[in-house]
Amino acid sequence: MAHWLFKTEPGEFSLADLLAAPGRTTCWGGVRNYQARNFLRDRVQLGDPVFLYHSSCAEPGIVGLMKVVRAGYPDPSCLDPESPYYDPRSRPGHIRWQAVDVRLEARVSPPLLLSKLREEPLLQGFQLLRPGNRLSIVPVTPEEWQHLIRLTNLIPP
DNA sequence: GCCAACGTTGGC
DNA sequence: GCCAACGTTGGC
């Protein structure tokens, strides 16, 4: 089992949107970066736990705990001309990008803010905190995960 | 709005 | 294959 952190801009898709989704489950698609795509295709497995992270907002931080309920599959938004994630280079049977399905398991309340994460000596190597980190699918080591879990207050969705 | 740190594109 | 120009991310 691997552990992950998925970033989203709350203006695009937020914890509130996931809470409102049927079964609190959503397709996690629209990832258009090859390294992140390879994680979704090769490394993210059914049952993996995932932190939900709000980025590019007033208070960036971890706001939820999710679980992978469907492993990698071709991202349907690639073929949808109406979607902002439409990929003109994809064709049926030749879809370039991957999606997974995730379900919200718990909220993190209060959110575990980025400013708090930066104060943690044990999270020195955490990829999320690296300057210039732009990956939206971030791997979390077991040690980092254990520490992060201790810093969260989880409440039912 | 600024800027650092990338990733991508495209000419050669 | 190289690399300059450009675009994007994301914190501040």
pLDDT in tens, A35-91: 999 999 999 999 999 999 999 999 999 999 999 999 999 999 999 888 889 888 888
User: Is A102's pLDDT higher than 90?
Assistant: yes
Q: What confidence score (pLDDT) does residue A114 get?
A: 96
pLDDT at A147: 96
- On average, the pLDDT of chain A sits at 95
Helix (H, G, I), strand (E, B) or coil at A147: helix
Contact present, A157 and A105 (Cβ < 8 Å): yes
**Given this model, what pLDDT does residue A113 score?**
97
Q: Which nucleotide is nearest to A132 (CA to C1')?
A: B5
Task: Report whether A93 contacts A79 (CB < 8 A).
Answer: no
The set of residues with CB closer than 7 Å to nucleic strand B is A 33-35, 130-134
Does the domain made of A3-155 have the CATH classification 2.60.40.10?
no
Q: How many angstroms separate the CA of A87 from the C1' of B12?
A: 28
User: Residue A151: what pLDDT?
Assistant: 97
- Residue A125 tokens read as 């190597």
Measure, in angstroms, how far nucleotide B11 C1' is from residue A41 CA.
33
Q: How sure is the predictor about A3, in pLDDT bands with cuts at 50, 70 and 90?
A: very high
pLDDT of residue A88: 84
Instruction: Return the domain boundaries, chain A.
Output: 3-155
- Burial code (b: 16+ CB inside 10 Å, e: under 16) for A29-57 equals bbbeeeebbebbbeebeeebbbbbbbeee
- Is the model's pTM score more than 0.85? yes
Nucleotides of chain B touched by protein CB (<7 A): 4-8
